[in-house]
């Protein structure tokens, strides 16, 4: 993953270029490996590169052979090997997984993103037609913003992060996931139209456990596409543990295949990724490392260590103190570009861990975001009045992931040039699991949350099968990340906010906040920090705050500990 900035139809583009390079520099943390830019007509595309695939020859922006198309991409295209085979008449210049976007656009125009399997945000400029195209992946795993200036009519700006646009634009939006922008129409159009998108359409397909398992395994396999050291974020909860277990199996399998190959193969000429038959080709780096973070003695650390030993990863346990977390809050809010309470709580440990991981030489990790939204894993889902309501809430939560968990996973890690990939949000996996009858997903007295996911990886009825996880992990109750790193973390944040925000301040919120008024001192504390970092009015308009589902008994505090069904995470939770 990388960082991109683009300005389309900017008057006196050469004079603007130094400013554009400074804006791009603000996100160099996303791409510390190289910087590039191309100016054409009145348009500039800038790129900050994090090299993971096509390391030797994947610099961007990528310019087509005839110099008509200029492309800058932030993300990973997992089906690039298949696309290259389908578009073999195009004269590819690099080994980059992103380059196929150019011939794909030449063939399908604005339908090109429909053919991509990956996480991405890209801007493509057609020099001949003076036309710009921008698109974001279906769920919004990769961040992208779009801005305009009332003083520069007709100019459109794009950037991976808000901070690139706040000094130039007074109208900024978070680019909607699954959409494409075309300067010809000056409109955003949704290209992602899966069968499950209509939340009122309740599926009736019964769960197929084998299909759930095989589709998730393929999703993980795709995301092991890398030519650099990689690892897994391992909290010890169900989601990250399953991803780590599958990744461990896949890397061990790939390592055996690498060892069986003849020596002396030139790695620079080998494509990395999954081919049309679903086989994974790795370019070395086949040893899996796992990473966990928490306060000393945290529930997650105990569980993560158990999982790592069971699946055979090289495990790294990192600790942080309350003061270290408090000291990082301003930096976290600067990188996250939000003042949402639950996002900041969970992002701070992830931000601190990412720095440790990058210092150990790792550039890519797999993470477990998305499972709770797909399967209704949050504990408040137990109060869903019906299966239809359960499903509607799942669809709503998946659609909003780009404003919360995806934003956290992307920006917390990319703050240190570390890329996070999320297998649960694979298009094919979503197509399977979002079409399961919600009656099979509902939490009941007999079925714990995410029962069908647990059951799909339960091999206890097959004595010959190697278990994916220990039973006490496979059937462990949901523990939100900000809770699992240590219960005193959230308690400490509340105490800090109480000391920092007076009763008088809290009773008199800023007039410019309008209806978006913090309801707790902790939320007020974060909003003040955000305003200090991003005083521009347009900045706050891009933020979404978590709103509790009160009619389902969801507590105003986003911590899972406030749900009636919550049990201590250090206890063994079994079926």
Catalytic positions:
2
Round the CA-based radius of gyration of the chain to a whole number and report it: 23
> Cβ(465)–Cβ(407) under 8 Å?
no
Distance CA 278, CA 224 (A): 12
Distance CA 390, CA 447 (A): 14
Q: For residue 520, what are its two tokens?
A: 């707790």
Run of H or E including 153 = strand 152-159
Report residue 145: phi and psi, to 5°.
Answer: -125, 155
- What b/e readout covers 472-501, taking b as 16+ CB neighbours within 10 angstroms? ebbbbbbbbbbbbbbbebbebbeebbeeeb
3 is in an annotated binding site: no
412 is in an annotated binding site: no
Distance CA 429, CA 422 (A): 11
Distance CA 70, CA 101 (A): 11
354 is in an annotated binding site: no
233 is in an annotated binding site: yes
Q: For residue 302, what are its two tokens?
A: 């105990």
Q: What's the first-to-final CA gap in the chain, in angstroms?
A: 39
Q: For residue 61, is the peptide bond before it cis, meaning its omega torsion is within 30 degrees of 0?
A: yes
Report residue 257: phi and psi, to 5°.
Answer: -70, -40
Count the neighbouring beta carbons within 10 Å of the beta carbon of residue 280.
20
Does the CA dihedral 280-281-287-289 come out positive or negative? Answer: negative
Distance CA 129, CA 451 (A): 53
Report residue 308: phi and psi, to 5°.
Answer: -60, -40
> Cβ(149)–Cβ(170) under 8 Å?
yes
293 is in an annotated binding site: yes
Angle at CA of residue 83, ends 77 and 86, nearest 5°: 175
Residues belonging to the binding site for ATP are 233, 293, 367-368
Residues belonging to the binding site for L-glutamine are 97
Residues belonging to the binding site are 97, 233, 293, 367-368
């Amino acid at each position: 993953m990388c960082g991109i900035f683009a300005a389309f139809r900017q008057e006196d583009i050469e004079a603007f270029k130094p400013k554009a390079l400074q804006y791009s520099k603000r996100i160099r943390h996303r791409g510390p490996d190289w910087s590039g830019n191309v100016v054409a007509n009145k348009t500039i595309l800038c790129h900050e590169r994090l090299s993971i695939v096509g390391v030797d020859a994947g610099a961007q922006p990528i310019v087509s052979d005839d110099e008509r198309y200029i492309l800058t991409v932030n993300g990973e295209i997992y089906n690039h090997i298949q696309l290259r085979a389908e578009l073999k008449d195009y004269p590819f210049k690099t080994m980059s997984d992103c380059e196929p976007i150019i011939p794909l656009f030449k063939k399908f125009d604005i339908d090109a993103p429909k053919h991509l399997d990956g996480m991405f945000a890209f801007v493509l400029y057609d020099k001949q037609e003076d036309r710009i195209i921008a698109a974001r992946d279906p769920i919004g795993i990769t961040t992208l913003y779009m801005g305009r200036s009332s003083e520069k009519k007709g100019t459109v700006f794009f950037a991976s992060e808000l901070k690139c646009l706040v000094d130039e634009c007074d109208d900024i939006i978070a680019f909607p996931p699954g959409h494409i922008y075309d300067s010809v129409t000056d409109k955003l159009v949704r290209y992602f139209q899966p069968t499950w998108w209509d939340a009122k359409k309740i599926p009736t397909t019964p769960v197929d456990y084998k299909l759930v398992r095989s589709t998730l395994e393929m999703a993980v396999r795709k995301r092991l596409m890398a030519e650099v050291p990689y690892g897994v974020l391992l909290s010890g909860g169900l989601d990250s543990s399953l991803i780590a277990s599958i990744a461990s199996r896949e890397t061990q399998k790939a390592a055996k295949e690498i060892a069986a190959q003849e020596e002396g193969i030139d790695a620079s000429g080998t494509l990395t990724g999954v081919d049309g038959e679903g086989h994974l080709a790795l370019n070395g780096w086949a040893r899996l490392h796992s990473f966990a973070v928490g306060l000393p003695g945290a529930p997650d650390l105990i569980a993560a260590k158990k999982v790592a030993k069971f699946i055979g990863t090289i495990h790294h346990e990192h600790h942080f103190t309350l003061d270290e977390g408090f000291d990082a809050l301003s930096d976290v809010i600067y990188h996250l570009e939000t003042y949402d309470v639950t996002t900041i709580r969970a992002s701070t440990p992830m931000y601190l861990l990412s720095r440790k991981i990058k210092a150990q030489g790792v550039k890519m990790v797999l993470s477990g975001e998305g499972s709770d939204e797909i399967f209704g894993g949050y504990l408040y889902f137990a109060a869903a009045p019906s299966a239809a309501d359960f499903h509607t809430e799942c669809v709503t939560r998946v659609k909003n992931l780009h404003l919360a968990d995806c934003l956290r996973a992307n920006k917390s890690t990319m703050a240190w040039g570390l890329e996070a990939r999320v297998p649960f949000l694979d298009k094919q996996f979503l197509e399977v699991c979002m079409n399961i009858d919600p009656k099979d997903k509902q939490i009941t007295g007999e079925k714990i949350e995410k029962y069908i996911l647990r059951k799909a990886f339960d091999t206890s009825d097959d004595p010959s099968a190697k278990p994916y996880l220990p039973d006490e992990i496979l059937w462990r109750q949901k523990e939100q990340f900000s809770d699992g790193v240590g219960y005193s973390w959230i308690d400490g944040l509340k105490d800090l906010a109480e000391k920092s925000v007076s009763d008088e301040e809290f009773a008199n919120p800023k007039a410019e906040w309008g209806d978006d008024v913090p309801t707790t001192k902790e939320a007020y504390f974060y909003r003040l920090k955000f305003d200090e970092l991003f005083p521009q009015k347009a900045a706050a308009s891009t933020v979404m705050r978590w709103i509790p589902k009160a009619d389902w008994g969801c507590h105003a505090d986003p911590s899972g500990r406030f749900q009636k069904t919550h049990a201590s995470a250090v206890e063994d939770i079994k079926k």
